[in-house]
Structure 1
Amino acid sequence: MKIQQLDKTRGHYILLGTILGICAGIVVSLFRLGIEKLSEVVGKAYYFFPSHPQWLVLWLFISILCAILVGLLVKSDPDIKGSGIPQVEGQLRDELSTNWFSVLWKKFTGGIISVGMGLFLGREGPSIQLGASVGQGLAEITKANSSDTKILLSSGASAGLAAAFNAPIAALLFVVEEVHHNFSPLVWLTSFTSAIVANFVSLTIFGLKPVLHMGQIQSLPLNYYGLLVLLGILLGLLGRFYQIVLLKLADWYRHLPLPAHFYGLLPFLLVIPIGYFWPETLGGGNQLVVAFGQSVPPLETLIFLFVLRFSFSMISYGASLPGGIFLPILSLGAIIGGIFGMMLVTFFGMDFIYVKNFVIIAMAGYFAAIGKAPLTAIILVTEMVGSLQHLMPLGVVALVAYLVVDLLGGSPIYDSLLERLVAKQDVSLQSKKVVLEFPVFADSPLDGMAVRDITWPEHCLLTSLSRGEQELLIHGDTIVKMGDTLHILTDATHAGIVFKRIQQISK
């Protein structure tokens, strides 16, 4: 039997993915380690203060200094604001341009301070942007072309999420479902390689235990599946509410008598009384979810936790600090699931043993509703919890929640954040040529059309298309088919406009 040699192109991208996975895995693991170490110090301080309240004056001074330092970092490079995921998506669509080294060290420093000081922010968004920055740096070092640069950006983002959550499959799905919205063989191969390698680096440092391990969990009986539809509807409604509030934050923060880069002073000061009275609630919320594996709090406590974490996570993220919403969304979903489960126990006599099931299932449903990425949500929660028992109920709730948000007119939250971000950018008069890759889906009117019959926008040229693993040169009579990927040449100045207009044509 003849053994086929590995295609040189695939081998090249596997090598790049491996190098990128090692580098991004180290960077993100150090970032994660820095947050954990600072969080330990901050947690000990807040448990110390009730018996030594005089030290709060010094802590207030330290918190203000931290807010000023992060504010100066944000002022020097606004691209480190927020989670970083919209910025990465903007780079891949040629709508944004960033300095990778500046973002790398400033996001690293600002993220450790913001998340480590106990604000209700997540490490996953910054980890994705850090991984993408490593990918961009590797692209510059290797003098990669525009297409390869985007592959390395995507693969770096995948590696960052894998290292942050020890969830390599979800990291790959996130890139395909949330970032690209299409399937590219080279993006898939390189991203999967980098995610696996980065995950191995992270596991070497943090161990094999899943990030949200909740112990032994019983399978949910089939007679409870009707309740999953109800839970999915609830999560869809609350998810749409989350989207609306999050997108209003910038308008509300403008009323503060502070420069925009110093908005962080508000959450850095407000976290002090929260830490003083409820130190166990600080941070992204993963410790709360893990604690639910041991004991789910009473209904009144869960409702209080939801109000507290929802409100302060909005305050934390609205200040444009370097931190994400991924983990706070999951923790809010867990609390909603806990409330739903405890209500069933209290008022309908459900066995308490199944409350943890609803905690896990609601995490996926809430993220699927807000991010509109149900596959990523299902696999992410499965990998983080470390159990395959919940795939069916996770799928039911994620699908229902997704449909509810869709019916309510909700868009993927990171796409909405990117639109707002791009709207604030000055038009850059670059002349650099770029190649856009545009997928043709099953419901696209482009399917079955001849190239000459398509009304192409100005400032672009269709150069070729990919069909399966073949790249085809095109002419006017070429028929576009479902599954094709169009390669469109334009320049950096018009890339964003061209992409949006082709999106409109394809709908």
Structure 2
Amino acid sequence: MQKLQLDTTRFEYIIQGALVGVLAGIVVSLFRLAIENLLAVVKIVYKAGVTKPWWLLALGVFYLLVWLINARLVKAEPNISGSGIPQVEGQLAGELELSWQKVLWRKWVGGILAIGSGLFLGREGPSIQLGANVGQAFGEIKQLKGASLRAMIAGGAAAGLSAAFNAPIAAALFVAEEVYHNFSPLVWTTALSAAVTANLVSLYFFGMTPVLHMAYNYSFPLVDYGYLILLGILLGVLGILYEKMTLAIPKVYQKLVPFPRNLHGIIPLVLVIPIGLKWPDIIGGGNALIVSLGQQVPATIVLLGLFVLRLVFSTISFGSGFPGGIFLPILTLGAVLGGFYGHLLADFHLLASSLIVNCIIYAMAGYFACICKAPFTAILLVTEMVGSIKHLMPLAVVALIAYCVVDLLHGRPIYEAMLSGLIADKGEIKIHGEFKDRLEIPVFVGSLLENKQVRDVKWPKEALLIAIRRGENELLPHGDTVIRGGDILVILTVHQRLAKVRQQINHIAKQM
């Protein structure tokens, strides 16, 4: 009688992912807590500064310290600059190799100071990078390499987003859909277990209330779905505008600001002062603003002015190179746009005023979906953050329409575009040490690899096809094996050639 042998591989990855999630959850929850408390103090100072100018002097000294500290941190480790998501995506693709010892503490300190100072920056991108650093540290301590190490990095990234937003399902999906571009069973199970445990840690710190909780009890009428299509089109067009402005602003800084890149942060720190004095409640990433819109929607003209202000100053804040992301600012812009659109329809008696909150929520999903080109993540993220699953259909309609508009206008996923710029700036990345690594590439339906025999594909000379994963089965490929849509190709290559081999096979899939 044959003895039953248990395959514990996935179970081991799930346990390791859970441990990474706990550690990343603690790091990111403390990061989030520090930002919230610092931002609350800054808002108090702005409100008091109207009648007590010496408070503003203290704030000026604080901003000077924020600038000097971040300038030093960014100069020492440029990879802490900006969101952090492109860097993580580059790590997982084999394009970049980063040192968690250099990045982790600098990103944590610099992010707290930059985001907590009131700039229009989000905590979620930095949280993803912090989580990825924790996953990398865990993997390197356990002496993992290649695909195993990348699974821990992916798990940490999911844990970071989960702890920042209390959205574990969306966090795991975001890593698979947008960051790793791979639904490998080992990756998504690791990411999901890490996201769940990180969320548990975060709930201990911040409680059970959803991050962007809004009460919207009215279903959107089917007869008014045409307005949702128009909303999706509006979001798509303005999504292209946001993408072009955000990608162009670093070059504007380089041309107009006559001092080094790491010193550019002084510009937004000076510009945020009049904004904070006039409207202290709108500074920061925007989560408090989104919640306030759900409680009381301002007039249409106010919302239009708020959108323009946040669009311009979000790009200025991000373009400075300070540690801080665009994740939450994108959602905030979407919420403001949704409020403006819904209010405008209500003003002309085309829509009930009770449905304005619905428009705010749908627009958040749509704006994120089109800019990041991650519609599934957008739908689940907003659903988890708001705390209701009653309105998935209108969310999906707006997200899909906005996504299609950006795709027709040749918009790229913004984090992918940022990664391309990052790699171009850095040139060729030198990676020390040489070892064999596994690369998993999905075969999409419609790919030119679909229905081809293995022998008919001109594989890169640095690559060896060692397996084809089809559902739960793993096939040993032969020359006459037919590749099917939905397969995952398991490629063996040298670690240094990982990114190049991936690009070559993706090119073959499009050009055969």
* SS of residue in 2 equivalent to 1:51: coil
User: Within 5 Å, which residues of 2 pair with 1:55-94?
Assistant: 55-94=55-94
Query: How far is 1:70 from its partner?
Result: 0.7
Whole-Å Cα distance in 1 between the matches of residues 462 and 162 of structure 2? 38
* Alignment partner, residue 99 of structure 1: 99
Deviates more, 1:55-64 or 1:132-141: 55-64
User: Is contact 1:83-1:323 (8 Å) kept?
Assistant: yes
Corresponding position: 1:443 with 2:446:
yes
Query: How far is 1:5 from its partner?
Result: 9.1
* Alignment partner, residue 245 of structure 2: 245
Per-residue deviation, residues 12-65 of structure 1 (Å, max 9, x unmatched):
112101111110111110110010111111111111100012332332222122
* SS of residue in 1 equivalent to 2:40: helix
User: Within 5 Å, which residues of 2 pair with 1:363-374?
Assistant: 363-374=364-375
* Alignment partner, residue 21 of structure 2: 21
* Alignment partner, residue 294 of structure 2: 293
Query: How far is 1:389 from its partner?
Result: 1.9
User: Is contact 1:93-1:436 (8 Å) kept?
Assistant: no
Select 1:476's aligned residue among 472, 475, 479. 479
Query: How far is 1:349 from its partner?
Result: 4.5
Deviates more, 1:51-60 or 1:189-198: 51-60
* Alignment partner, residue 361 of structure 2: 360
User: Is contact 2:174-2:377 (8 Å) kept?
Assistant: yes
Deviates more, 1:456-465 or 1:111-120: 456-465
* Alignment partner, residue 42 of structure 2: 42
Whole-Å Cα distance in 1 between the matches of residues 9 and 56 of structure 2? 59
User: Within 5 Å, which residues of 2 pair with 1:98-497?
Assistant: 98-255=98-255, 256-430=257-431, 431-433=433-435, 434-497=437-500
What is the identity, as a one-letter code, of the residue corresponding to 1:245?
M
Percent identity between the two aligned chains: 53
What is the identity, as a one-letter code, of the residue corresponding to 1:395?
A
User: Is contact 2:46-2:56 (8 Å) kept?
Assistant: no
Whole-Å Cα distance in 1 between the matches of residues 466 and 78 of structure 2? 35
User: Is contact 1:217-1:356 (8 Å) kept?
Assistant: no
Deviates more, 1:458-467 or 1:219-228: 458-467
Change (3 A) 1:427 1:52: same
User: Is contact 2:243-2:371 (8 Å) kept?
Assistant: yes
Query: How far is 1:197 from its partner?
Result: 0.6
Q: Please, which runs of 5 or more residues in structure 1 have no aligned partner?
A: none
What is the identity, as a one-letter code, of the residue corresponding to 1:224?
D
Query: How far is 1:150 from its partner?
Result: 0.9
* Alignment partner, residue 499 of structure 1: 502
Whole-Å Cα distance in 1 between the matches of residues 5 and 335 of structure 2? 48
Q: Please, which runs of 5 or more residues in structure 2 have no aligned partner?
A: none
4+ residue runs of structure 1 moved beyond 6 angstroms? Answer: none
Q: Would you say how many aligned residue pairs link Structure 1 and Structure 2?
A: 504
Query: How far is 1:258 from its partner?
Result: 1.2
User: Is contact 1:10-1:186 (8 Å) kept?
Assistant: yes
What is the identity, as a one-letter code, of the residue corresponding to 1:274?
I
What is the identity, as a one-letter code, of the residue corresponding to 2:316?
I
User: Please, what is the CA RMSD of the aligned residues?
Assistant: 1.4
* SS of residue in 1 equivalent to 2:426: coil
* Alignment partner, residue 9 of structure 2: 9
Whole-Å Cα distance in 2 between the matches of residues 75 and 227 of structure 1? 48
